[in-house]
Amino acid sequence: MRAITIREGELVIEEHPDPEPGKGELLVRVRAAGLNGADMHQRRGRYPAPPGWPQDIPGMELAGEVAGLGEGTERFAVGDRVMAIVGGGAQAELAVAHERLFMPVPESLDWPEAGGLPEVFVTAQDAIITQAELRPGEHLLVHGGAGGVGTAAIQLARATGARATATVRREELRAQIAELGAEAIECEGFAEHGPFDVILELVGAGNLPENVSSLAVGGRLAVIGAGAGAKGELNLLALMGKRARIFGSTLRARSLEEKALLARRLEHEVLPLFDAGELRVPVAATFPLEQAAAAYERFEAGGKLGKIVLVVQ
């Protein structure tokens, strides 16, 4: 098979042996694979794949057709359309992962949409719904609302019955963010639009003081991104006065059991909303596998709405 391969920080197309499914695993012919920030870090040697996953083939989410079944698989058949979060190896013609990680692709989604769905919607649902317990009528703030996780969180908040506000640096993207269901605001002075019951931090520690000051009493701050800085000053008295809590979260290193549970929650609680027309996957651009380097450059350039997706012919 052909696969995107990291060689001394560069991306090249190389031939690799076709993977074979083990016990409980599916072999999937990949049709689309979304790009994520973790791929950028892995390329530079800053975020290695968890043990047991390809270290030189990036990619944390994929969609495709089942091409082979390992011993003991029960749920899917050859030819089924499936998608999943994986620990690595998604940006290739073929990939292998445990059957429990996979979800059926909603009928209304094409391959690029399906390839860009698993990572961002699982991340958003786990952070704001499962952990932060966002409730109907509450107010959510999303920092970095134009990215993949940001656009997913905005839509999930709307579907939950919560109100969403999102910081969006590019003025030309704010109207599209509003269409997804959020009030799109400038990054500076966001605290004036609070108080917020839940804040989803996708940017970095520079927002920490205003995040805490703009939390409602009993508010929750979910930190899942720190690209603009990981260290900040925290006023503990302000946190105590709000009876607020701060938590951080990542997905990649979680166990099979944890990831399978996240997949089942998304499958039962969220995926039906796509065919109902209540949710969508904004795709900013698609690139063929052969143009992976250009896709990575587009991702890092910023200024996009939604996902960058590699498609495999």
Q: Is 153 helix (H, G, I), strand (E, B) or coil?
A: helix
Same domain, 199 and 136: yes
269: its two tokens: 């609680």
207: DSSP letter: G
Residue 259 belongs to a domain:
no
Same domain, 125 and 143: yes
Residue 273 belongs to a domain:
no
Same domain, 106 and 26: yes
Same domain, 23 and 125: no
CATH of the domain at 34: 3.90.180.10
Residue 165's domain comprises 120-248
142: its two tokens: 């999303």
Same domain, 215 and 239: yes
Same domain, 112 and 128: no
| Length of the chain counted residue by residue | 313
| Pairwise CA distance, residues 166 & 140, whole Å | 8
Same domain, 143 and 98: no
DSSP H stretches of helix in the chain: 37-43, 111-115, 118-124, 148-160, 174-180, 208-214, 236-242, 256-269, 272-275, 292-301
Domain boundary pick from 248, 271, 291: 248
Same domain, 132 and 107: no
Residue 272 belongs to a domain:
no
Q: What is the pLDDT of residues 212-235, one digit of tens each?
A: 999 999 999 999 988 888 899 999
User: For residues 303 and 145, is the Cβ–Cβ distance under 8 A?
Assistant: no
Residue 263 belongs to a domain:
no
Residue 229 belongs to a domain:
yes
Domain boundary pick from 202, 226, 248: 248
Same domain, 219 and 297: no
The segments of the chain whose pLDDT lies below 70 read: none
Q: What is the pLDDT of residues 297-308, one digit of tens each?
A: 999 998 999 999
Q: Is 92 helix (H, G, I), strand (E, B) or coil?
A: strand
Same domain, 108 and 172: no
Residue 266 belongs to a domain:
no
What pLDDT is stored for residue 99 in this prediction? 98
Residue 69 belongs to a domain:
yes
Same domain, 147 and 112: no
The total of structural domains in the chain comes to 2
Same domain, 78 and 144: no
Q: What is the pTM assigned to this prediction?
A: 0.95
What pLDDT is stored for residue 6 in this prediction? 97
Residue 253 belongs to a domain:
no
Domain boundary pick from 223, 248, 273: 248
Category of 246 on φ-ψ map: left (φ > 0), alpha (ψ -120 to 50) or beta: beta
